[in-house]
Structure 1
Amino acid sequence: MYIQTILTLSVILLCDAKLPKSKPYNQPNELPLNPTEYSQAIRLLQPELKNEKTSRIVDQYVRHRREVFYPNLYDSGLNWTHSETLDQNGDVVLKWTSSQTDIMFRVEARTLGYVGLGFNWESNMKGADLVIGWIDDDSGRAQILDCHGLEVEGKPVADEVQNYELISGHQNRTHTTIEFRRLLNTKDNQDFVIGDDTTQVLYALGPPGSDGQLPKHVDSGSRPLRLLQPFTSPNSAPQMHWDVTINNLSIPHDMATLFWCKIFKVPDLPKKHHIVGYLPLIDSRPIRNGVPVVEKNSLSPVHHMVLYECAVDPDEYSWNEWAESVGYFGPNRPSEWAICATPIAAWAMGSKGEFLPHNVGIPLGEKGGISFYMLEIHYDNQALHEVLDSSGIRILHTPTLRQHEAALLGAGVGVSALHLIPPKQRQYRTVGICSSECTNSTLPDTGINIVSVLLHAHGTARKISLKHVRGQQELSVISEENSYDARYQQSRVVPGGRQFLKGDIMITECTYDTTARDKPILGGYSTSQEMCLSFVLYYPRTELAGCYSMTPVDEFFETFGVKEFYFMSMIKIQNLFLSSGNLENITSPWEFDMKSRNYVEETGLQGDDQGVRLLKSLVIKNPAEFRNKSFMAHLNEMQWSEPLLTEPIEQRLYRGLHMMFCKKQDDSWGIPIQIQAYPTYNALPSNDVSEKHYKRVRLPSVTTASGSHRSHIWPAVLAICLTVIVAR
């Protein structure tokens, strides 16, 4: 038997030696294959001992590696299309570029020790894909090591197969620079698959002299990034800019959430211009002892900003007066400002702004029909600091008009307290619908072309997708994020664009993880609340400004077993939610001491609660078992950890009735408000992020019966032969 095995192996190897070897194909902007070879693969049979063997494996890796990189080769000369600072001090800069199969990185770090970079779904090293680079102090040559973090401790250990290839590296008196590359999908269980979703990019810096010994790092952190986002930049056409900023707004220390709105008049332009992009201007200074100071590491409370067009209004005198004013607290802004409903720029945390495609522009200037704009800034001040803020948006525009005029469309779940997410849920879904009746009434016969999408939610959201339904069939998603991080809300370019026709349906779906929450989360602007929105950049411009849905009021309360409240009918409650007035000041005849019932927020005041306070003041009359309880007390007492309760609630609010809203640019209705059932269509198979994530290696047992050992020898031999053939 063993002689037969050896003969078979010999024949296979002899045949392989005679096979022609194919030459590798190089993608554009891609280096030729690294000529480095390995004399043997590094293999560890006992995961629990890997950390103890790390130093020995590093030494073996260095000895067996044929070094071809020299200290005078400082960089590759690649065109780095992306660049991000990973830390707040600017000590770690990551640059990268990619092809269809590979991705190349350059790390510039303030350290004379090792530089570690990692990729993971979570912002920690447990199970992360890690690469360690350093400059040998004796030879001055660069080295890298492919590692991964242990699932339990997160400690780095060397991979069995080294899939990272060194490009170049050098060190000066202060910094270490390493360039390397890898396949997007190495098909290695110990490596991370780099795709379209947000990746947690980890970094770690070793102490001076830590050349591959992997001692404890002296600095570390993480930042969410999308590594495969298309590169966008302004074209060569002449550009101007218009800075739309708040001027020295004092944010009080007792306001946890603050919305501020201000009117701006368009610059005096001789003709219509086109907006070609926008950038955030963040200027937040904490006030210390009554004096605003500049602190390098202080975090700005600016959470998101939206700039809206204001439809033409005949009373220009009032608008000029408003443009000269400092602005208004959001809920108290004049009702006339409701015509400022069409977003043209939407920025959120982590975004660097956006450049429009070179054939698309948004009209700007009185000659374009727009005279006034409203800037809305949401400040998230949960730390309750006193801050002086002058933030805003820089609008980039050009007199060279582009082929297509574009606009932004808001879609998703209407922002209100009726958007409820239960606690203790691993994956709870909510949905907002842009109905076929709305798009059929407002879109042109040729439809629109979607360019990019900004998906927006708050801290418990984990997935967001913008779905597309035509007739009875769901099409491929317009945009999606399967690893959503509220700290990184960069708009997503739709590759090749997407044609969206009259009568098509747009569905924004959000999935939340509330396992760390003890009480229900209600919809609202505060970061302690939730949203589910899509801002869609498209062309040609239409009169449609917003397309949302929410659960009808009576359907919402019936879902939680409530039929009637004291002193407030369902119709009146619904009218309050549908009104554009301020829900904060609503009171009812059943007025009680909120403090004595512990209904006051333990944090600061929420500046715009979208009806949360109303829900707290509603007292149940029917059914009898809930009588005299406030609705919020009733919600807080429900058994949210019981799937028999939560699953039917999710299904009813998701698949049940929806109240549809279709808003035009002048704040009028595109169609009357309608209540409809969730649309019926043939859905595509679900796209779970877990399907994209390779499982960790499970090594076979080394203790087997003799008979079993003999029965598996032939598959093992063939596997070894195939491995040798592929490697050659």
Structure 2
Amino acid sequence: MHLQIVVALSAILLCDAKLPRFKPQAQPNELPANPLHSQGLGQLQAQSKTEKTSRIVDQYRVRHRREVFDSKSYESSLTWAHSERLDQNGEVILRWVNTDSSITFRLEAKTLGYVGLGFNSARNMRGADLVVAWVDDRNGNAQVLDCYGSEYEDRAIADDVKNYELISGYQNETHTTVEFRRQLDTCDKQDFVITDDTTQILWALGPPGSDGQLPKHVKSGARPLRLLQPVSKPESIPLNHWDVRLTNLTIPYVMATLFWCKIFKVPDLPKKHHIVGYEPLIDSRPIRNNVPVQEPNSMSPVHHMVLYECAEDDDKHLWNGWAEGEGYFGPNRPSAWATCATPIAAWAIGSQGEFLPENVGIPLGEKGGVSYYMLEVHYDNQELHNVLDSSGIRVHYTSSLRQHDGAVLGAGIGVSALHVIPPKQKAYKTVGICSTECTEATLPEDGVNIVSVLLHAHGTARKISLKHIRGTQELPRISEENYYDSHYQQSRIVPRGRKFLRGDTLITECTYDSTSKDKPILGGYSAKQEMCLSFILYYPRTALAGCYSMTPVKEFFETFGVKEFYGLNFMQVENIFLSSGSFENLPPLPLSDEGQKHIMNETGEEQGVQGDDQGVGLMKELVIWEPPEFRNKSFMAHLNEMPWAEPLLTEQIEKTLYKGMHMTFCKRRDDTWGVPMQIQSYPNYTELISNETAEKSCHYKSVRLPSVTKTSGATTRSFSWATLVALCIMLVVTR
């Protein structure tokens, strides 16, 4: 009898499933496909989304998805791998831990209203992935609401598909704390895919009592972070530290860009030690009324710092004297300091430093082969303030030696005014090469192992990648950043490392967005100029210190239509660039009134001295002789007047400078050549089509997370009935 009832019910269910459904299906809160719809239609759609969002929020407010949690008992079950302050005052703390497929967050905020968290490639809500959480004042129940940002205004819209799972939430007299998780890739087009790229983490705090009402926030902000990064700080070994820092260096207000160099003698260590990590020491005090003051919210002008090893020198007395001195303005440093060429620590804005993998250490101490180091600090003082600075780097080291001696290799484009980014370009690419000839001559037979990379450029860079070429084939990228933010330059661990063989080629590629610029950007140390560099940590240690390239001088100027300068041939101009851009002995220039006007225009726009400009000033002094149509113009004036709005022009220049001839440099630690300087063609190789190891396929819009909370009896019964019905249907079909 019971079997008959079950079979009958199954048949009814089977037939019912075949009937057409007239119930309207809920559609996603999608924006119109055509952005040119009328304003009236846009307002109606916005009103519709607002009403729909309100309905979804109301459902969340009355729904009891979770009971009250004992957050302390839950906290003991998770170790948060990362913790960051999202604001300067520490009122919003984000902690997180991830697996290969999901990520779990704990958000602690000083608010009794809602707290919002967002993920985007830009520092705003437009198109962002948002989650809004609150604790209901009436019953203490926590809620999370999946949202996304409107494409046209800073407004949150409730997502139809819920991809955030609440774990716990509570509030006390001052703070709201919620824990929730999501898949790294939810396969929902409204959600941000969390990768190892830099992500703009948005946050917002609602007014007290804003439990799901979503009124305008009272505080908000954004901070760039990489959410998927390993933890490498050693906790189980004895650590010492050595502070390598300047002492009360006065940065005058007239210096918009300055870099300062100082020699340091290594600590007196009885045996070889290993450097295992470093962190920045930022100590900048503005000078007000001739007195340095501590201002908590004042921005330090320290832009980036590099610590170099210096090759051994028999004249210890001379180097000891330099170590006791205050240092030198970069262009004026002694020529012997050129042997300080091997970087061991590279820090830039936003970085918290780096700890090396557990099997790698950089030798420290005279027993390790190095007695002196040079600290190079670059200052960006565009606001032209007087500042007293004592910044530097804290080096962490240990007597517990690691398995491998490591080193850092500098690669990319040589810093020079021959590195040009035209204005009004959305995605302009430049490239620097570490040549096959260099790695063939300097690397061991078995090659080296790359373990981490710091990618460095300035404010107009949007993407940086470190490419790996073997023979005529490009291998998967060693490291890349698709959402580069110059205010967050943290080194990147290379997952599982990368074997780099003798004869392989490295290519550092940078992509820039100069759409907001009216004039070309030149390479240089100033934040207004650009760079494209990679600092590569590897083992075993070799003699190779730097491996760069730049466009040869003749090819560079001919690309921009210039055939000859007054009084100088291209070889002489090249020699000037290769000698750090010194142009004290230029011949007098017989400028016409028009030519003099161009020079005045170029020099008059700069405020403050830009320090070592790597040839930028030379661009303003070089006067064109041939062809006649450009005669008596400075090269900088000629660059500024080129028709950059013509895509055919800029595309051809980009292609010529990228895929054309490159002058390559291969330097050893003692400042000698690994191979002679060469001019060679861009490598011929088959480019990598996709950098993904496997194409991901999303078959469902929402991927359900397995529950981390105790499953209720109702849910269990529902699952049991569904299983029973499915079995019965199969039985009917079989018969």
TM-score (normalised: structure 2): 0.87
Structure 1 unaligned spans of 5+:
1-6, 16-39, 698-720
Separation of aligned partners in 1, 2:15 and 2:409 = 62
- Structure 1 residues 72, 375: CA separation in 2 closer, same or farther (over 3 Å shift)? closer
Separation of aligned partners in 2, 1:582 and 1:311 = 25
Contact between 2:602 and 2:636, CA under 8 Å: does it hold in 1? no
Contact between 1:309 and 1:372, CA under 8 Å: does it hold in 2? yes
Q: Once structures 1 and 2 are overlaid, which stretch shifts more, 106-115 or 501-510?
A: 106-115
Q: 1:649 aligns with which of 636, 650, 653?
A: 653
Separation of aligned partners in 2, 1:601 and 1:587 = 23
Partner of 2:5: none
Partner of 1:58: 57
Separation of aligned partners in 1, 2:649 and 2:352 = 42
For residues 10-159 of structure 1, the aligned pairs below 5 Å read: 10-11=13-14, 44=29, 48=46, 49-70=48-69, 75-77=74-76, 78-159=78-159
Is the partner of 2:604 in helix, strand or coil? coil
Separation of aligned partners in 2, 1:647 and 1:9 = 66
Q: Which amino acid aligns with 1:486?
A: S
Partner of 2:667: 663
- Structure 1 residues 693, 454: CA separation in 2 closer, same or farther (over 3 Å shift)? farther
Contact between 1:75 and 1:179, CA under 8 Å: does it hold in 2? no
Q: Which amino acid aligns with 2:353?
A: G
Contact between 1:340 and 1:373, CA under 8 Å: does it hold in 2? yes
For 1:86-130, what per-residue CA distance to the aligned partner results, in whole angstroms no more than 9, with x for missing partners?
112221111110001110011111112111000011110011010
Contact between 1:76 and 1:168, CA under 8 Å: does it hold in 2? no
Contact between 1:108 and 1:175, CA under 8 Å: does it hold in 2? yes
Partner of 1:613: 617
For residues 65-464 of structure 1, the aligned pairs below 5 Å read: 65-70=64-69, 75-77=74-76, 78-464=78-464
Is the partner of 1:203 in helix, strand or coil? strand
Is the partner of 1:317 in helix, strand or coil? helix
Separation of aligned partners in 1, 2:578 and 2:599 = 28
For residues 570-585 of structure 1, the aligned pairs below 5 Å read: 570-579=570-579, 581=580, 583=582, 585=584
Contact between 1:51 and 1:155, CA under 8 Å: does it hold in 2? no
Is the partner of 1:67 in helix, strand or coil? coil
Alignment RMSD, CA only?
Answer: 2.4
Contact between 1:234 and 1:277, CA under 8 Å: does it hold in 2? no
Q: 1:602 aligns with which of 606, 609, 614?
A: 606
Separation of aligned partners in 1, 2:484 and 2:334 = 35
Contact between 2:61 and 2:212, CA under 8 Å: does it hold in 1? no
For residues 476-625 of structure 1, the aligned pairs below 5 Å read: 476-579=476-579, 581=580, 583=582, 585=584, 587-590=586-589, 596-625=600-629
- Structure 1 residues 314, 45: CA separation in 2 closer, same or farther (over 3 Å shift)? closer
Is the partner of 1:616 in helix, strand or coil? helix
Separation of aligned partners in 1, 2:292 and 2:395 = 27
Separation of aligned partners in 1, 2:557 and 2:262 = 36
Is the partner of 2:95 in helix, strand or coil? strand
**1:684 pairs with 2:688:** yes
Separation of aligned partners in 2, 1:692 and 1:301 = 43
Contact between 1:150 and 1:156, CA under 8 Å: does it hold in 2? yes
Contact between 1:74 and 1:170, CA under 8 Å: does it hold in 2? no
Separation of aligned partners in 2, 1:175 and 1:388 = 38
Is the partner of 1:648 in helix, strand or coil? helix
Contact between 2:254 and 2:384, CA under 8 Å: does it hold in 1? yes
Partner of 1:469: 469
Alpha-carbon offset, residue 587 of structure 1: 4.0
Contact between 2:204 and 2:218, CA under 8 Å: does it hold in 1? yes
Q: Which amino acid aligns with 1:609?
A: D
- Structure 1 residues 175, 268: CA separation in 2 closer, same or farther (over 3 Å shift)? same
Alpha-carbon offset, residue 431 of structure 1: 0.4
TM-score (normalised: structure 1): 0.88
Contact between 1:55 and 1:212, CA under 8 Å: does it hold in 2? no
Q: Which amino acid aligns with 1:478?
A: I
Q: Once structures 1 and 2 are overlaid, which stretch shifts more, 273-282 or 88-97?
A: 88-97
Separation of aligned partners in 2, 1:200 and 1:366 = 43
Separation of aligned partners in 2, 1:207 and 1:650 = 51
- Structure 1 residues 629, 533: CA separation in 2 closer, same or farther (over 3 Å shift)? same
Contact between 1:304 and 1:348, CA under 8 Å: does it hold in 2? yes
Q: Once structures 1 and 2 are overlaid, which stretch shifts more, 63-72 or 212-221?
A: 63-72
Is the partner of 1:636 in helix, strand or coil? helix
Contact between 2:435 and 2:506, CA under 8 Å: does it hold in 1? yes
- Structure 1 residues 305, 693: CA separation in 2 closer, same or farther (over 3 Å shift)? farther
For 1:147-180, what per-residue CA distance to the aligned partner results, in whole angstroms no more than 9, with x for missing partners?
1111111200111111111111121222211111
Separation of aligned partners in 1, 2:697 and 2:599 = 48
For 1:679-706, what per-residue CA distance to the aligned partner results, in whole angstroms no more than 9, with x for missing partners?
1011111669xx9999xx9xxxxxxxxx
Separation of aligned partners in 1, 2:590 and 2:375 = 36
For 1:1-52, what per-residue CA distance to the aligned partner results, in whole angstroms no more than 9, with x for missing partners?
xxxxxx999428889xxxxxxxxxxxxxxxxxxxxxxxx9896588522124
Separation of aligned partners in 2, 1:601 and 1:312 = 44
Q: Which amino acid aligns with 1:438?
A: C
Alpha-carbon offset, residue 584 of structure 1: 6.7
For 1:610-659, what per-residue CA distance to the aligned partner results, in whole angstroms no more than 9, with x for missing partners?
00000110000000111111101100000111111001100000000000
Alpha-carbon offset, residue 54 of structure 1: 2.8
Is the partner of 1:589 in helix, strand or coil? coil
Partner of 1:635: 639
For 1:179-205, what per-residue CA distance to the aligned partner results, in whole angstroms no more than 9, with x for missing partners?
110111111111111111111110001
Alpha-carbon offset, residue 256 of structure 1: 1.0
Alpha-carbon offset, residue 460 of structure 1: 0.6
Q: Which amino acid aligns with 2:588?
A: P
For 1:219-277, what per-residue CA distance to the aligned partner results, in whole angstroms no more than 9, with x for missing partners?
11101111111122114121110000111111111211110100000001111100011
Give aligned pairs, total. 666
Separation of aligned partners in 1, 2:182 and 2:652 = 46
Alpha-carbon offset, residue 67 of structure 1: 2.5
Alpha-carbon offset, residue 68 of structure 1: 2.8
- Structure 1 residues 407, 51: CA separation in 2 closer, same or farther (over 3 Å shift)? same
Is the partner of 2:256 in helix, strand or coil? strand
Alpha-carbon offset, residue 528 of structure 1: 0.4
Is the partner of 2:271 in helix, strand or coil? coil
Contact between 2:307 and 2:346, CA under 8 Å: does it hold in 1? yes
Alpha-carbon offset, residue 596 of structure 1: 3.6
Partner of 2:713: none
Separation of aligned partners in 2, 1:69 and 1:516 = 51
Q: Which amino acid aligns with 1:272?
A: K
Alpha-carbon offset, residue 74 of structure 1: 7.2
Q: Which amino acid aligns with 2:275?
A: I
Contact between 2:259 and 2:379, CA under 8 Å: does it hold in 1? yes
Contact between 1:42 and 1:57, CA under 8 Å: does it hold in 2? no
Calculate percent identity across the aligned residue pairs: 68
- Structure 1 residues 196, 279: CA separation in 2 closer, same or farther (over 3 Å shift)? same
Contact between 1:584 and 1:609, CA under 8 Å: does it hold in 2? no
Q: Once structures 1 and 2 are overlaid, which stretch shifts more, 382-391 or 519-528?
A: 382-391
Structure 2 unaligned spans of 5+:
1-9, 19-24, 32-44, 702-721, 727-735
Separation of aligned partners in 2, 1:431 and 1:70 = 54
Separation of aligned partners in 1, 2:129 and 2:471 = 43
Is the partner of 1:275 in helix, strand or coil? strand
